[in-house]
């Protein structure tokens, strides 16, 4: 999004700069050309003034013209009444040609006709008394440039012509174009810089808001979005925070309700324990008492899990190494009695995962109970815990017949059980941000893999 906004701002700025720079470039070209035309016109008028100031000799005229710019791109010349060309003729072919008819300016091939007559300037010789006179210089386009030409009447007609090539006419444009390009680039950079600042002001709160939304979806309802920045973005953050508050309230109410219900079940559970102890058969009393103890332990775990927000925060954590080692030791008495060989591979250092000790213990119990319940006595099994990127991997495998397809689906089982054991393990993994995979071990038995995410 940030890149798209920057591209949009850069595109709009570029259009504005072009709309400004293109007309200015044409104005620069026109202004430089007009300045050059005025320069050659003034130079031609200066030669005419020199001629009209007296009766200069050809040598004086040639000396005066030599003091002017005489290059391939700029030259001045005078055609005397005797037809002698002084100075450097314009390189448009033919030089200055004698006038015929009314005096006037000079076109590309000689004297101009009635279509471009010279305008006589007021001055000596143009009044009633007669005398030396001059005409205003006229600028004409010639091949390769332009000329300023006029006639001066001083004891005859002197014809003056000043030539400037196209390159001379546009001399100095490069500096103006460079200045214009620099100003355009500066405006473009200012526009892009301003767009960058505006984009950051808009995108940064949005990015933080999106990050907060991901945290909430991952289970951290304490995360809150920023409420600064533009008004619309701040409203989004405020709405998301209100949603998180409401989710937090609903979760707290739900867990309190579950805890209350579980607590209320302790009374009938106590009565059931008393009834079990009153049985006449000691074996039956012991067996039912064990079931009651297991049920009581489950209820205690439910109450603790429901009230965990007040004790541990919304994102619990535990040492998976310690929990797995404790549960394997707990089941070791039964597995030793059934002569089951076990292989336990645990890291030497703590492995912290994002789940509570109770939930992870329940998941490990479910997996080990699944091995004991669905494989013949004496069947070996293995428990392996290892660290992976972003968390840990717990694998419980056995050498039994394996699990049928769909065994990990809640409520499905072909061996008479409820099928909830694997679902409990799966939910533990998913709540931590991981997953569960049901597969086969190298021996062909079942292999349950829990991916647990780190806090």
Domain count, the chain: 3
Can you give the CATH number for the domain in which 416 is found?
A: 3.30.565.10
Q: Domain range for residue 411?
A: 316-453
H-helix or E-strand spanning residue 394: strand 391-398
CA distance 29 to 321: 81
Domain boundary among 122, 137, 171: 171
Listed in sequence order, the residues at least 6 apart from 251 whose beta carbon sits closer than 8 Å to its beta carbon are 221, 309
Number of Cβ within a 10 Å radius of residue 361: 19
Do 105 and 231 lie in one domain? The reply is no
Do 249 and 185 lie in one domain? The reply is yes
N-terminal to C-terminal alpha carbon distance within the chain: 30
| Per-residue exposure over 296-324, b if at least 16 CB sit within 10 Å of its own CB, e if not | beebebbbbbbbbbeeeeebbbbbbbebb
Residue at 397 is within a domain: yes
Residue at 441 is within a domain: yes
Tens of pLDDT, residues 240-262: 889 888 887 887 787 777 767 76
Do 152 and 255 lie in one domain? The reply is no
pLDDT tens string, the chain, 455 residues long: the values are 667 777 777 788 888 888 888 999 899 989 998 999 999 999 999 999 998 887 788 888 889 988 888 888 889 999 998 889 998 887 764 445 443 333 443 333 333 333 333 444 333 333 333 334 445 788 888 888 899 999 888 878 889 999 999 888 888 888 998 998 998 898 888 888 887 787 777 778 888 888 888 888 776 777 888 888 778 888 888 998 898 888 878 877 877 777 677 667 777 878 887 887 888 888 888 888 888 887 777 777 666 666 555 444 456 789 999 999 999 999 999 999 999 999 999 998 999 998 888 889 989 998 998 888 888 999 999 999 999 887 899 999 998 887 765 555 444 444 444 456 788 888 888 888 889 998 888 888 889 999 998 87
Bridge partners of 77, per DSSP, are: 87, 161
Bridge partners of 85, per DSSP, are: 79
Do 147 and 13 lie in one domain? The reply is yes
Number of Cβ within a 10 Å radius of residue 350: 11
Count the residues in the chain: 455
Tens of pLDDT, residues 398-438: 988 877 655 554 444 444 444 567 888 888 888 888 899 98
Do 426 and 396 lie in one domain? The reply is yes
Instruction: Please tell me whether residue 35 adopts helix, strand or coil conformation.
Output: helix
Q: What is the pTM of this model?
A: 0.43
DSSP assigned state of 441: -
DSSP assigned state of 64: H
Task: State residue 130's pLDDT score.
Answer: 36
DSSP assigned state of 98: P
E-assigned strand segments in 171-325: 318-319
Do 324 and 363 lie in one domain? The reply is yes
**Residue 438 in contact with residue 446, Cβ under 8 Å?**
yes
Residue at 299 is within a domain: no
CA distance 398 to 441: 7
Domain boundary among 248, 264, 280: 264
Domain boundary among 152, 171, 190: 171
Do 195 and 152 lie in one domain? The reply is no
Residue at 9 is within a domain: yes
Listed in sequence order, the residues at least 6 apart from 212 whose beta carbon sits closer than 8 Å to its beta carbon are 223, 224, 225, 226, 237, 240, 244
Bridge partners of 353, per DSSP, are: 318
H-helix or E-strand spanning residue 60: helix 58-66
DSSP assigned state of 141: E
CA distance 420 to 428: 12
């Amino acid at each position: 999004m940030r890149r798209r906004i920057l591209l949009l701002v850069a595109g709009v700025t570029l259009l504005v700069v072009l709309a400004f720079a293109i007309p200015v470039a044409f104005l620069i070209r026109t202004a430089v050309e007009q300045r050059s035309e005025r320069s050659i016109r003034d130079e031609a008028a200066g030669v005419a003034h020199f001629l009209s100031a007296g009766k200069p000799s050809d040598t004086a005229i040639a000396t005066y013209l030599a003091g002017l710019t005489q290059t391939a791109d700029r030259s001045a010349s005078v055609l005397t009444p005797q037809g002698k060309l002084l100075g450097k003729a314009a390189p448009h072919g033919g030089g200055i040609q004698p006038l015929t008819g009314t005096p006037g300016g000079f076109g590309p091939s000689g004297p101009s006709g009635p279509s471009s007559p010279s305008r006589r300037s007021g001055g000596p010789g143009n009044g009633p008394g007669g005398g030396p006179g001059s005409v205003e210089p006229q600028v004409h386009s010639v091949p390769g440039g332009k000329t300023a030409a006029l006639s001066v009447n001083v004891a005859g007609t002197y014809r003056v012509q000043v030539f400037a090539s196209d390159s001379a006419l546009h001399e100095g444009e490069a500096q103006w174009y460079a200045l214009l390009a620099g100003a355009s680039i500066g405006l473009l950079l200012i526009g892009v810089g301003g767009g960058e600042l505006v984009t950051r002001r808009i995108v940064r709160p949005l990015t933080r808001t999106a990050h907060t939304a991901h945290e909430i979806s991952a289970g951290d309802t304490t995360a809150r979005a920023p409420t600064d920045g533009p008004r619309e973005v701040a409203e989004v953050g405020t709405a998301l925070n209100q949603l998180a508050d409401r989710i937090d309230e609903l979760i707290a109410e739900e867990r309190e309700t579950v805890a209350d219900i579980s607590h209320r079940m302790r009374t009938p559970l106590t009565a059931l324990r008393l009834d079990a102890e009153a049985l006449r058969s000691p074996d039956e009393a012991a067996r039912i008492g064990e079931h009651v103890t297991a049920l009581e332990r489950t209820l205690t775990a439910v109450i603790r899990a429901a009230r965990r927000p007040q004790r541990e925060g919304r994102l619990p954590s535990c040492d998976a190494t310690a929990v797995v080692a404790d549960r394997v030791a707990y089941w070791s008495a039964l597995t030793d009695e059934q002569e089951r060989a076990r292989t336990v591979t645990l890291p030497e250092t703590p492995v912290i995962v994002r789940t509570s000790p109770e939930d992870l213990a329940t998941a490990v119990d479910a997996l080990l109970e699944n091995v004991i319940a669905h494989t013949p006595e004496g069947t070996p099994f293995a428990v392996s815990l290892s660290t992976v990127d972003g968390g840990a991997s717990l694998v419980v495998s056995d050498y039994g017949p394996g699990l049928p397809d769909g065994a990990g689906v809640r409520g499905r089982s072909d061996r008479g059980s409820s099928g909830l054991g694997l679902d409990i393990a799966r939910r533990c993994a998913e709540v931590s941000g991981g997953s569960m995979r049901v597969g086969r071990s190298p021996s062909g038995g079942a292999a349950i893999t829990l991916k647990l995410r780190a806090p």
